[in-house]
A = this chain, B = another copy of it.
Amino acid sequence: MSPDDITGGRGRRHYTRGVGRWEPGAGDRLREAALTLYLERGFEQTMVADIADRAGVTARTFFRYFADKREVLFDRSAELERSALAALEAAPATASTLEAVAAALSAAADLIGQDRELARKRQAVIMSTADLRERELIKLADLSAALAEGLRRRGVPAAEAALATEAGSAVYRVAFQRWVDTEDGTLDLHEAIRQSFAQLHTLTTPH
């Protein structure tokens, strides 16, 4: 799925509310403006009106795209969970438990890995505010729980399912951090995940 698909999906969803004209590209401009302001001034100090101003739209338009200023950072969570879960469910029956988890992470990387600068800014904002960090941790825990449930539906025992998704979550977070920290853009998120899985295997091999 491409970022255009996502934007298109969101655009259509909001358009059907019928509260006014949907402005092409406004969602992305608002997201960009919000992240820049959150980093410049701090999340708490940034008002919705500032974000709308910077994006060249009205506050009313902002609320057509996002419920509040926090949702700018989290509105893709549901999409991410759906994609990851669908990939896990689509993994062949012969796939090992961790291969099914890897398929889910790969789907997540398809979405997140498109724009490193956006991801880097979002991460910096989230880590700077305790409240946002808590919310991010809850979202990741919920995603992990949803994937574990998906594994159990595939017949994987509960403890193995939990361990595989928690380990997958660890792999993803570490790979994500390496990816956003690689300034020159030579590391792809998919490749970072693959490397972290390999490293996890090496780490867990008794010496």
Contacts and interface: CB of A to CB of B under 8 A. Distances in A.
Contacts of A167: 167, 170, 200, 203-204
A136 to B, nearest CB: 9
B200 A174 contact: no
A78 interface: no
A106 interface: no
Interface string A177-199: 11000000000000000001101
Contacts of A98: 203-204
Given A134-B137, A170-B167, A170-B170, A177 B162 contact: yes
The number of times this chain is found in the oligomer is: 2
Question: Which residue, of A171, A177, A178, A204, has the highest number of chain B Cβ atoms within 10 A?
Answer: A204
A68 interface: no
A123 interface: no
Given A137-B134, A137-B137, A137-B141, A163 B205 contact: no
- 8 shortest A-B CB distances, which residue pairs? A166-B170, A201-B204, A137-B137, A134-B134, A163-B174, A162-B174, A167-B170, A98-B203
